[in-house]
C-alpha cells in the first residue's frame, strides 16, 4: 500500500483505476514514405475509424437532442469521405510519397482555404469543420486520444495540470476523480471537479508515478489523501466512508423544495456557477434557484475560430430555455490571463493577470463583443437573461459596454428579431477599483456579483495560480471581507442586488458573514447548493450579526 | 438524361447541412447527378465541391441526372430541392 498526501480541493471519496491524461501531439511530422500503398491503407483505416467515431457521436446526439443535432456529425462524416478530399490526399501520398499525417494536414489547409476565401461568412466558418474532421483523422493516425481518456471504465484521472481548453473537452462520464501534480484550489481542474461533484487532489508533485497507471487508487478529497493498492483494512474503511457520503447526499435530498430561509426569516438566493450548457442538469438536480454565473468562455475554447453568432445563440438559448423562468446570469467573454485562446492572437504579456483580458478585450475589439451581445439578446427571448461584464475597473467601461448593448438592441429591432426588454445588466466586482467605486458603479447597473477569486488575488497582490503562495492567498483576509461589505452597502443604498459568484460563496464558515452583511445571492457549484441551504436554515442572523460585524470592522479584527 | 432547374429560396443557400442532406439523397440512386451554377458543374456526391459553389438564395442551379434510375432520381431530387432549399 502506498499513501500519498496532496491538497484536497474538492471533497468526496472515489475508488477506481488510475489513468494518466494523454495529451494530443500537436506537431505533425513530415516524412517521405517508401511504400505509398501501405501509407494509403493507413489513411483509409484512419478515415474509416473517424467515420465510425462520427457515426457514434451522431447516434448519441440524436438520442439526446434529435435529428438536427445529429446532422452536424453526419455532415462531418460526409466530409471525411468526400471524394475530392480523398483524391487530393491520395495524390500526395502516391505521387509525392508524403506520409499520411502531412498529406491530410496539407489537404485540410487547401480545403479550409477554399472555404475561407468564399465571400459568404457562413461558408468561411465551414473552414473550421474541415479542420475538425482532419484533426480527428490525424489524431487517429498519430495515436493521440480524443478527449484525453481512452478507457472503457471510469477512471481516476491524473495529469500535471489541465488547461481550460483541455478540461472542456474531457469525456466527463469517464472521470471519478482528479489528481494533479501542480495547480491550486482555484485552478480550472478544481473548479471543474467541484461542478461535477467529484473529488480532486492537487499539488502531489512527482509522488504520483507513471508506473501506478492501471492500479486501483482510492482518493479522499476531504483529506487530500491518495492510496495506491490499499490493504483490505483501509479499503474497508474507505468503502464505509463512501457509503456515509451516499447517506449524507440522501439526507440533503430531503432539503429539495425547501426555502433558503434563516431561523429568523432572512432569505438568500442560492444559484449555480456553470461552464457549459451540459451543466444545467446538475443545477436543476440540486434544486438551485437559478444560474448566477454562466462562463461563456467554453464557446470560445471549444472552437478553432471565433464562434459565430448562431452557434453562440443556440448555446445560450438552450441554457435559457432549459432553465425556464429562472434567472440566468451569463458572463460575457472572460479570456486572457490564465485562459488563452490561440486564434485571438493576443501578444504574450509579462503580467497577463493585469493585462489585456475580459471586458478590456471586448471594448478594444468591438466586433467580437458585438457578435456575443447579438447572440445574447436574441437568446433573451427564450428565458430570463441577465448579462454580466467581467473585469471592470471604471465607470466609463460600463457606459461603453452598455452603449454597445443599446446599439445591438437597435440593430435587432431594425431587423425585426425578437429579444426581451427585461434583460438585467450587471458587473463583476473583482478588482479593488470596482469595489472602491461601487457607489458610482451601482448607479449604472442592475446588479453586482463579486468574483472572490480575482478580488482576493488583486487585493492581496497574490497570484492564485501559484501553488507556493498558498498561505498568503487568504480569501478570509479582512481586506477582502471589508471590501465585500462596502460593495454590499453601496449596492443596497442604490437599490440593486448583490451576489457572490466566486468559490468563497460555498465556504460554509463564511455563510454567517454573508448573511450578516446582507448578500442577496450566492452562486456556487451545483453540489454545494443543498449543504449551503442546510447551513442557511440552521443560522439565526440576529444572533450572529453583531459579533460578525464587530470582528470585521472593529478592534477584534484578526489581522491575518 | 433528365435535367431541371431550380431557384434557391432558402435564405442561407446551399450551406453545409442541406448540402449534406442532398448528398445523402443522391446516394439513394445509381444515376450520376451534377449540380451546375453558371459554368461550374460539380458531382452532387462531392459535399465540399457542392458547398464550394457557394449557392445563395435567389440563384438558379441546373441539375442533371443520368443513369438507369434517372426518372425516379430526378423526381426524388427535385422534390428534395423543393422541400429543403
Q: Which string of DSSP letters, residue by residue, matches A109-159?
A: HHHHHHHHTSS-HHHHHTHHHHHHHHHHHHHHHHTPPGGG---SS-EEEEE
- Nine-digit cell string for A165: 481548453
Mutate to test the interface with B, among A82, A86, A308 (most CBs of B within 10 A): A82
> Catalytic site residue B80?
no
- A310 at B interface, C-beta within 8 A: no
CATH number of B2-84: 3.30.1340.10
Which of B15, B46, B56, B62 is an active site residue?
Answer: B15
* Chain A positions in Cβ-Cβ contact with residue B13 (cut-off 8 Å): 120
- A206 at B interface, C-beta within 8 A: no
E-strand stretches of chain B: 2-7, 32-37, 40-43, 60-66
Lowest mean pLDDT among A132-141, A253-262, A534-543: A132-141
The interface residues of chain A toward chain B in range 97-116, judged by CB-CB distance below 8 A, are 111, 114-115
Instruction: Find out if CATH 3.50.30.10 is the number for domain A2-23+148-245.
Output: yes
What is the distance between the alpha carbons of residues A250 and A459, in angstroms, rounded to a whole number?
A: 39
The predicted structure's pLDDT at residue A168:
65
Lowest mean pLDDT among A143-152, A248-257, A385-394: A143-152
Of B17, B45, B46, the CB nearest to A75: B17
Q: Please determine, for the modelled complex, whether the ipTM score is greater than 0.90.
A: no
Contact A83 B16 (CB under 8 A): no
Closest to A465 measured CA to CA, from A353, A357, A336, A333: A353
Architecture of the domain delimited by A36-144: Orthogonal Bundle (1.10)
C-alpha atoms less than 13 angstroms from C-alpha of A458 in its C-beta half-sphere: 24
- Per-range mean pLDDT, top range of A193-202, A448-457, B22-31: A448-457
Residue A446 banded pLDDT, cuts 50, 70, 90: very high
Going by C-beta distance under 8 Å and a sequence separation of 6 or more, which residues neighbour residue A396? none
Write b or e for each residue in A312-345: b if 16 or more Cβ atoms lie within 10 A of its Cβ, otherwise e. bbbbbbbbbebbeebbbbbbbbbbbbbbbbeeee
The CATH T-level fold of domain A262-553 is TIM Barrel (3.20.20)
Q: What is the mean pLDDT of chain A?
A: 89
Helix or strand (DSSP H, E) at A301: helix A297-301
| HEC secondary structure over A518-530 | CCCEEEECHHHHH
The predicted structure's pLDDT at residue A560:
42
pTM: 0.63
Residue located via cell numbers 500535471: A160
* Chain B positions in Cβ-Cβ contact with residue A79 (cut-off 8 Å): 47-48
Contact A82 B48 (CB under 8 A): yes
What does DSSP assign to residue A170?
A: S
The alpha carbon dihedral of A151, A156, A159, A164 has a sign of positive
Q: Which residue of B has its CA nearest to A113?
A: B52
pLDDT at A54 over 70: yes
Q: How far is CA A192 from the centre of its chain?
A: 7
pLDDT at A559 over 50: no
Going by C-beta distance under 8 Å and a sequence separation of 6 or more, which residues neighbour residue A455? A429, A430, A431, A432, A435, A480, A483, A484, A502
Going by C-beta distance under 8 Å and a sequence separation of 6 or more, which residues neighbour residue A466? A184, A473
What is the distance between the alpha carbons of residues A240 and A252, in angstroms, rounded to a whole number?
A: 19
The predicted structure's pLDDT at residue A533:
97
E-strand stretches of A216-326: 216-220, 225-228, 269-274, 291-295
What is the distance between the alpha carbons of residues A469 and A134, in angstroms, rounded to a whole number?
A: 42
* Chain B positions in Cβ-Cβ contact with residue A123 (cut-off 8 Å): 15, 51, 54
- A79 at B interface, C-beta within 8 A: yes
Mutate to test the interface with A, among B20, B32, B41, B53 (most CBs of A within 10 A): B20
- A126 at B interface, C-beta within 8 A: yes
Backbone region of residue A444 per phi and psi (left: phi > 0; alpha: psi in -120 to 50; beta: other values) = alpha
What is the distance between the alpha carbons of residues A28 and A138, in angstroms, rounded to a whole number?
A: 8
What is the location of CATH 3.20.20.60 in chain A?
262-553
What does DSSP assign to residue A352?
A: G
CA distances from A528 to A3, A65, A215, A225, A286 (A): 28, 28, 31, 21, 9
- Nine-digit cell string for A475: 480569501
Closest to B64 measured CA to CA, from B77, B53, B55: B77
pLDDT at A460 over 60: yes
pLDDT at A186 over 70: no
Of A84, A120, A129, the CB nearest to B49: A84
The predicted structure's pLDDT at residue B10:
82
Q: How far is CA B42 from the centre of its chain?
A: 9
Per residue in A472-505, pLDDT (tens digit) is 888 899 999 999 999 999 999 999 999 999 889 9
* Chain A positions in Cβ-Cβ contact with residue B84 (cut-off 8 Å): none
Average pLDDT over residues A391-408: 97
* Chain A positions in Cβ-Cβ contact with residue B44 (cut-off 8 Å): none
Of A74, A82, A118, the CB nearest to B54: A118
* Chain A positions in Cβ-Cβ contact with residue B16 (cut-off 8 Å): 75, 126, 129
Strand partners, B33: B65
Give me the residue spans of the domains in chain B: 2-84
What is the distance between the alpha carbons of residues A381 and A383, in angstroms, rounded to a whole number?
A: 6
* Chain B positions in Cβ-Cβ contact with residue A87 (cut-off 8 Å): none
What is the location of CATH 3.50.30.10 in chain A?
2-23+148-245
- The alpha carbon of residue B47 is apart from the nearest alpha carbon of chain A, in Å, by 6
Closest to A449 measured CA to CA, from A517, A511, A388: A388
Contact A79 B47 (CB under 8 A): yes
Of A79, A111, A120, the CB nearest to B54: A120
Mutate to test the interface with A, among B47, B57, B58 (most CBs of A within 10 A): B47
Catalytic site residues of A?
A: 188, 501
Q: Which residue of A has its CA nearest to B56?
A: A120
Closest to A433 measured CA to CA, from A401, A384, A392: A392
Q: Which residue of B has its CA nearest to A82?
A: B46
The predicted structure's pLDDT at residue A43:
93
Contact B43 A123 (CB under 8 A): no
Of B21, B47, B56, the CB nearest to A82: B47
CA distances from B3 to A530, B32, B44, B66 (A): 66, 12, 13, 9
pLDDT at A24 over 70: no
pLDDT at B14 over 90: no
Contact B19 A130 (CB under 8 A): no
- A84 at B interface, C-beta within 8 A: yes
Average pLDDT over residues A57-66: 76
The predicted structure's pLDDT at residue A145:
66
Backbone region of residue A229 per phi and psi (left: phi > 0; alpha: psi in -120 to 50; beta: other values) = left
Going by C-beta distance under 8 Å and a sequence separation of 6 or more, which residues neighbour residue A321? A382, A383
* Chain B positions in Cβ-Cβ contact with residue A71 (cut-off 8 Å): 17, 20-21
Per residue in A307-330, pLDDT (tens digit) is 999 999 999 999 999 999 999 999
Per residue in A345-359, pLDDT (tens digit) is 888 888 888 888 999
Q: By three-state DSSP, how is residue A91 classified?
A: helix
C-alpha atoms less than 13 angstroms from C-alpha of A452 in its C-beta half-sphere: 29
Higher pLDDT, residue A498 or A72: A498
Going by C-beta distance under 8 Å and a sequence separation of 6 or more, which residues neighbour residue A317? A378, A379, A382, A383
Helix A232-253, helix A529-538: angle, nearest 10? 70
Contact A78 B54 (CB under 8 A): no
Of A78, A111, A114, the CB nearest to B23: A78
| HEC secondary structure over A467-529 | HHHCCCCCCCCHHHHHHHHHHHHHHHHCCCEEEECCHHHHCHHHHHHHHHHCCCEEEECHHHH
The pLDDT > 70 percentage for chain A reads: 95
* Chain A positions in Cβ-Cβ contact with residue B27 (cut-off 8 Å): none
Amino acid at each position: 500500500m502506498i499513501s500519498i498526501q496532496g491538497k484536497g480541493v474538492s471533497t468526496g471519496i472515489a475508488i477506481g483505476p488510475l489513468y494518466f491524461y494523454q495529451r494530443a501531439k500537436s506537431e505533425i511530422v513530415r516524412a517521405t514514405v517508401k511504400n505509398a500503398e501501405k501509407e494509403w491503407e493507413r489513411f483509409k483505416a484512419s478515415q474509416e475509424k473517424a467515420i465510425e467515431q462520427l457515426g457514434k457521436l451522431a447516434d448519441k446526439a440524436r438520442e439526446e437532442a434529435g435529428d438536427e443535432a445529429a446532422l452536424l456529425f453526419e455532415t462531418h462524416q460526409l466530409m471525411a469521405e468526400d471524394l475530392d478530399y480523398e483524391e487530393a490526399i491520395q495524390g500526395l501520398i502516391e505521387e509525392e510519397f508524403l506520409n499520411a499525417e502531412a498529406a491530410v494536414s496539407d489537404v485540410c489547409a487547401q480545403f479550409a482555404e477554399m472555404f475561407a476565401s468564399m465571400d459568404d461568412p457562413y461558408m468561411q466558418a465551414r473552414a473550421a469543420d474541415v479542420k475538425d474532421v482532419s484533426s480527428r483523422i490525424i489524431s487517429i493516425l498519430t495515436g493521440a486520444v480524443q478527449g484525453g481518456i481512452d478507457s472503457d471504465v471510469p477512471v481516476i484521472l491524473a495529469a500535471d495540470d489541465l488547461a481550460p481548453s483541455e478540461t472542456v473537452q474531457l469525456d466527463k462520464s469517464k472521470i471519478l476523480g482528479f489528481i494533479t501534480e501542480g495547480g491550486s484550489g482555484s485552478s480550472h481542474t478544481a473548479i471543474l471537479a467541484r461542478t461535477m461533484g467529484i473529488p480532486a487532489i492537487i499539488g502531489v508533485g512527482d509522488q504520483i508515478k507513471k508506473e501506478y497507471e492501471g492500479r486501483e487508487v482510492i482518493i479522499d478529497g476531504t483529506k487530500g489523501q491518495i492510496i495506491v493498492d490499499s490493504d483490505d483494512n483501509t479499503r474497508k474503511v474507505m468503502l464505509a466512508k463512501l457509503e456515509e457520503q451516499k447517506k449524507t447526499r440522501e439526507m440533503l435530498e430531503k432539503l429539495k423544495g425547501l426555502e433558503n430561509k434563516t431561523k429568523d426569516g432572512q432569505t438568500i438566493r442560492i444559484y449555480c456557477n456553470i461552464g457549459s450548457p451540459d451543466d444545467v442538469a446538475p443545477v436543476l438536480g440540486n434544486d438551485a434557484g437559478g444560474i448566477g454565473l454562466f462562463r461563456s468562455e467554453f464557446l470560445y475554447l471549444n472552437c478553432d475560430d471565433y464562434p459565430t453568432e448562431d452557434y453562440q445563440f443556440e448555446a445560450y438559448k438552450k441554457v435559457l430555455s432549459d432553465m425556464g423562468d429562472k434567472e440566468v446570469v451569463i458572463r460575457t467573454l472572460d479570456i486572457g490571463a490564465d485562459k488563452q485562446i490561440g486564434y485571438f492572437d493576443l501578444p504574450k504579456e509579462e503580467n497577463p493577470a493585469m493585462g489585456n483580458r475580459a471586458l478590456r478585450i471586448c471594448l478594444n475589439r468591438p466586433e467580437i463583443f458585438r457578435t456575443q451581445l447579438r447572440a445574447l439578446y436574441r437568446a433573451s427571448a427564450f428565458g430570463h437573461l441577465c448579462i454580466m461584464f467581467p473585469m471592470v475597473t471604471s465607470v466609463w467601461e460600463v457606459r461603453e459596454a452598455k452603449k454597445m448593448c443599446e446599439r445591438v438592441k437597435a440593430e435587432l429591432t431594425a431587423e425585426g428579431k425578437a429579444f426581451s426588454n427585461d434583460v438585467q445588466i450587471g458587473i463583476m466586482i473583482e478588482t479593488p477599483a470596482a469595489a472602491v467605486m461601487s457607489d458610482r458603479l451601482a448607479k449604472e447597473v442592475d446588479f453586482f456579483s463579486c468574483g472572490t477569486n480575482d478580488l482576493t488575488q488583486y487585493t492581496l497582490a497574490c497570484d492564485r495560480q501559484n501553488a507556493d503562495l498558498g498561505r498568503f492567498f487568504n480569501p478570509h483576509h479582512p481586506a477582502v471581507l471589508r471590501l465585500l461589505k462596502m460593495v454590499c452597502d453601496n449596492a443596497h443604498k442604490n437599490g440593486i442586488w448583490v451576489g457572490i459568484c466566486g468559490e468563497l460563496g460555498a465556504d460554509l464558515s463564511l455563510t454567517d458573514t454573508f448573511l450578516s452583511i446582507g448578500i442577496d445571492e450566492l452562486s456556487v457549484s451545483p453540489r454545494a447548493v443543498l449543504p449551503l441551504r442546510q447551513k442557511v436554515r440552521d443560522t439565526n442572523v440576529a444572533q450572529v450579526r453583531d459579533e460578525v460585524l464587530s470582528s470585521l470592522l472593529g478592534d477584534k479584527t484578526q489581522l491575518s | 438524361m433528365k435535367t431541371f432547374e431550380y431557384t434557391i429560396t432558402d435564405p442561407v443557400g446551399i450551406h453545409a447541412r442541406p448540402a449534406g442532406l442532398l448528398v445523402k439523397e443522391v446516394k439513394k440512386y445509381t444515376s450520376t447527378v451534377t449540380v451546375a451554377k453558371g459554368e461550374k458543374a460539380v458531382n452532387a456526391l462531392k459535399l465540399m465541391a457542392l458547398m464550394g459553389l457557394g449557392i445563395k438564395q435567389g440563384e438558379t442551379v441546373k441539375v442533371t441526372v443520368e443513369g438507369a434510375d434517372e426518372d425516379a432520381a430526378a423526381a426524388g431530387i427535385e422534390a428534395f430541392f423543393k422541400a429543403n432549399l
